[in-house]
Homo-oligomer: A and B are copies of this chain.
Amino acid sequence: MPGGAVGSRRLRSLSELEGCVLGHLWKHGPCTAYAVRRQFLDSPSSHWSGSAGAIYPLLARLEERGLVTSKRLPRGGRRGWTYALAPAGRTQFLRWLAPPVTADMVSLSVDPLRTRVYFLGALPARRREVFLTESIGKLRAHLADLASVSREDEFDRLAVEGATRMMKARLAWMEELRRALAGGKAPQRRRGARAARGKRRGG
């Protein structure tokens, strides 16, 4: 989420992405910007693309704030730097990691599938079924992918376990949804329902 102007640059708390990057540095030790990118590039369920345009400037900003330090790459002719967590960065990272737990941390983020369910009444029954079937298929595939993501420590394992549980809940929900809509009591399936609703609307 793009942030506005908040407080004096130095004291601003970390964004989620900044926290993740600092966390990577904490967990894996000094590394290049590209190694950080790869974490996002490789993850099947990362919200961020790990685009170069995000990571390189972000690390530059973190260095400007004194949260990381950089050294020229020692090996070979490759230009570029390795970044390491600075003491101030460690402090900020722990502050970001620890309580208090804010409201936006517990609330669900946007879910494109759920969002569309709100408006599923706009589709004829046939297309709804196609949508649900396709979603369920992709959900299953994604769940299978989750099983093979790397878990380098106990906490990775626990976190992936959480992701898996949520994916399973989402899948089960969509399966029930399909059953409910395909079965007897499908809402708005009687003839003329579409036209009748159309009159209420603008276009």
Residues of A within 8 A of B (CB): 2, 16, 19-20, 23, 25-27, 29-30, 44-48, 68-69, 84-90, 93-94, 97-101, 103-123, 127, 130-131, 134-135, 138-139, 142, 153-156, 158-159, 161-163, 165-170, 172-174, 177, 180, 187-188, 200-203
Contact = CB atoms under 8 A, between A and B. Distances in A.
Contact of A115 (B16, B44, B103, B130): B16
A88 B45 CA distance: 33
Contact of A19 (B115, B138, B163): B115
B90 A203 contact: yes
Nearest to A119: B23
Contacts of A153: 121, 187
A132 to B, nearest CB: 10
A126 B89 CA distance: 22
7 contacts: A2-B2, A44-B107, A47-B110, A93-B122, A97-B122, A106-B135, A165-B169
Contacts of A122: 23, 26, 93-94, 97
B203 A117 contact: no
A70 to B, nearest CB: 11
Nearest to A130: B99
A106 B97 contact: no
A45 B103 CA distance: 9
Q: Which of A99, A116, A139 is the most central at the interface, judged by chain B CB atoms within 10 Å of its CB?
A: A116
Given A158-B180, A201-B26, A142 B107 contact: yes
Contact of A138 (B103, B120, B162): B103
A101 to B, nearest CB: 5
